[in-house]
Amino acid sequence: MKSYQDAYGRQVFDYLNGRKDVAEIVERDDGFFGVSAGAKYYFAPYREWHGREKKAIRYVRGRVLDIGCGAGRVSLYLQKKGFDVTGVDASPLGVRVCKMRGLRKASVLPITKVSFKLGKFDTLTMFGNGFGLFGNPKRAKWMLKRFYKMTTNDARIIAESLDPYKTDHPDHRIYHNYNKRRGRMAGQVRIRVRYRRYVTPWFDYLLVSPQEMRSMLKGTEWEMKHTLNSPSGAYIAIIEKTRRSTRPHGERAE
């Protein structure tokens, strides 16, 4: 990623250095623009997390890989709790921010480059709609099979998504139909992120319902055990291997 493309990293870097007028603009390929929760959310301390996130973090155990670690919100919390955490993100400046904030292990790595070379993990975390990083169903299945090989027998994936169908916004409903006509999933959005003069390349971001996620897991040897839901349609799935060992569970975060 070239420096002028790192819109995410620049906004969190500016926010860390005291700039408060930070707004993240998300542009969709149908011309729709929206403003995200932005940098304040990416730095939110545990006390300001959503209830579903506070519940989900308790399922963490053992060695952790935080995929799409952003500014280090989840990684730093777990590190403080004593977990061995590695954060990875496609944003070079975002990873720099993580290190500036004290994260001991952080690497610039897109999700497609995550592999066994990083070692074995007990928990993979994908907070902040992290399931969307898969981009499309085919890549999701491919990556989930790779995740299976780089995790311990009773590993967990804690992945957040947003049910795209839980909306009354007419522009979003029109986009769902537009996607279906193109042979894509309704929530397979193509977007780019803008901040000041920085803009990312276009990329696919996958939003799925719990039913769609459950279907996507078939054939990957992972299964959804349950979900932690919210009225907004955002939810976190607790995903475990279909074939698990009987060794004792590791430490849980509190």
| Side-chain half-sphere exposure of 8, counting CA atoms within 13 A | 24
- Domain 51-180+204-241, CATH: 3.40.50.150
- What is the distance between the alpha carbons of residues 171 and 34, in angstroms, rounded to a whole number? 11
- What is the distance between the alpha carbons of residues 40 and 22, in angstroms, rounded to a whole number? 9
- Residue 20: pLDDT band (50, 70, 90) is confident
Name the residue ranges covered by the structural domains of the chain. Answer: 51-180+204-241
| pLDDT in the model for residue 38 | 78
77-125 residue pLDDT tens: 999 999 999 999 999 999 999 999 999 999 999 999 999 999 999 999 9
> Are the CB atoms for 106 and 64 separated by under 8 Å?
no
For the chain, give the mean pLDDT: 94
The tokens of 31 are what?
């011309």
Residues 6+ positions from 9 with CB-CB distance below 8 Å: 91, 92, 93, 94, 95, 96, 97
- Residue 244: pLDDT band (50, 70, 90) is low
Average pLDDT score over residue span 35-57: 93
User: Is the pLDDT score of 246 beyond 80?
Assistant: no
